[in-house]
Structure 1
Amino acid sequence: MKLSTREMTLFALLGALMYVSKVIMEMLPNIHLLGVFVVAFTLVYRKKALYPIYIYVFLNGFFSGFSVWWIPYLYIWTILWGMVMLLPKNMPKKVRPIVYMLVCSAHGFLFGTLYAPIQIVLFGFNLKAVAAWIIAGLPWDCIHGISNFFCGMLIVPIVSVLSRAEHYVER
């Protein structure tokens, strides 16, 4: 996946946009546009969407500290990317927005569960401790999932803007 100078610049800006959007929305717990951006970037850039995603992950660690909380970020966003990559490309146009919103929402609802394996590896949690940890985080995962669903309404407009920009640049 060789990148052009334009793509390197674009992906750096998109990764920075992800980070800045997270910082701006930090006052609202578990409400952010990160899932929206991951889905939209994946729909437009496919495999190359991993570049802005991991730029965001790096920026998050750089500014907030490369600590234990950061380690799951190395795989959590890739799971959402993978879910989107598995979606059929030829879905009916009317179905796409709701599917994208549901995938984004599912990732939010599952965030604590996806985060849990690191608890086993780093802290030696047994399955009972992991289950308790997941259950304790359910209220936050519910906020995350519901907000991801509603924020997911932005996916199609973002995809439209990015696709038009890409089409314009290709001319």
Structure 2
Amino acid sequence: MKAKDITLIAILSASLTAGKFVLSAVPNVEIITFLFIIYTVIFGLKRSILTSVVFTTTEILIYGFGTWLLGYYILWPILILITHVLKRTINSEYGFAIVAAIFGFLFGLFFALFESLFYGIGYAIPYWIRGIPFDIIHGVSNFIIVLVLYKPLTQTIQLAKKKMHIM
């Protein structure tokens, strides 16, 4: 791996951590989904997957270890893979906004299923039901964030990528 790639992955990971921190006071409104979609479209699968590993590991260093972090090691790469596959067919921010919304709506269900591996299905069902209002906020906010920010941030990052000679 080239030094430019290592530096890029560090910067992308830091931007995810900063973005999460800035919005942490607002329940279930996050910019991570949006940034992973943008990073996958612009920088590709490999860099985005590596960024997700560094970001999730950083989460452990900041917040401590919890079973939810194991889910991050699975969930963010799934979003990246979905984005990578769909980027050939999605030509506008509307398509990615829908992907982000669905991802947000299903986020709690995924974690309920994941937590059931540790605590049983009797824990997972109330966990998911209790979180449905937050999943609705998550999905709607993801949709709005991608719809509003996709074009301007994509153009800005593409310009920076070109100026820095990143392939």
State the TM-score, normalizing by the size of structure 1. Answer: 0.88
Whichever residue aligns with residue 38 of structure 1, its letter is F
| 1:88 CA drift (Å) | 4.4
Distance, in Å, in 2 between the alignment partners of 1:49 and 1:17 is: 13
1:142 is aligned with what amino acid? Answer: I
Paired residues of 1:40 and 1:156 also in contact (CA < 8 A): no
Residues 114 and 168 of structure 1: is their aligned pair in 2 closer, same or farther, counting only changes over 3 Å? same
Alignment partners' CA distance in 2, 1:167 and 1:101: 25
Structure 2 contact 67–115 (Cα < 8 Å) conserved: no
* Native 8 Å contact 1:108 1:141 kept in 2: yes
* Structure 1 pair 134–6 and aligned structure 2 pair: CA distance change class (3 A): same
Secondary structure (helix, strand or coil) at the match of 2:52 reads: helix
* Residue 167 (structure 1) aligns with: 162
Q: 1:10 aligns with which of 8, 11, 17?
A: 8
* Structure-1 separation of matches of 2:39 and 2:71: 20
Contact 2:100 2:142 in 1 (8 A): yes
2:59 matches 1:65: no
Give the gaps of 5 or more residues in structure 1: none
Task: Tell me which residue corresponds to 2:137.
Answer: 143
Change (3 A) 1:88 1:51: closer
Letter in 1 for 2:137: I
Aligned equivalent of 2:149: 154
Query: 1:148, CA displacement in angstroms?
Result: 0.6
State how far apart, in whole Å, the 2-side matches of 1:79 and 1:90 are. Answer: 18
Residues 16 and 55, structure 1, Cα contact 8 Å, conserved in 2 = no
Unmatched segments (≥5 aa) in structure 2 = none
* Conserved 8 A contact 2:108-2:135: yes
Give the Å deviation of 1:169: 2.8
The answer to whether the 8 A contact 2:68-2:111 is kept is no
Task: Give the number of aligned pairs.
Answer: 164
Following superposition, the deviation at residue 15 of structure 1 comes to 0.3
Maintained 8 Å contact 1:19/1:56: yes
TM-aligned CA deviation for residue 27 of structure 1:
0.6
Give SS of 2:17's match. Answer: helix
Compute the displacement of 1:57 (Å): 0.8
Amino acid paired to 1:161: T
1:112 Cα deviation after fit: 0.5
**After alignment, is 9-18 or 111-120 more displaced?**
111-120
Any idea what the Cα deviations from partners look like across 1:116-161, whole Å, max 9, x if unmatched?
Answer: 22222111225xx533322211000001111111111212322222
2:43 paired with 1:45: yes
Residues 40/88 of structure 1: CA separation in 2 closer, same or farther (3 Å cut): closer
The AA in structure 2 aligned to 1:156 is: K
Amino acid at match of 2:163: Y
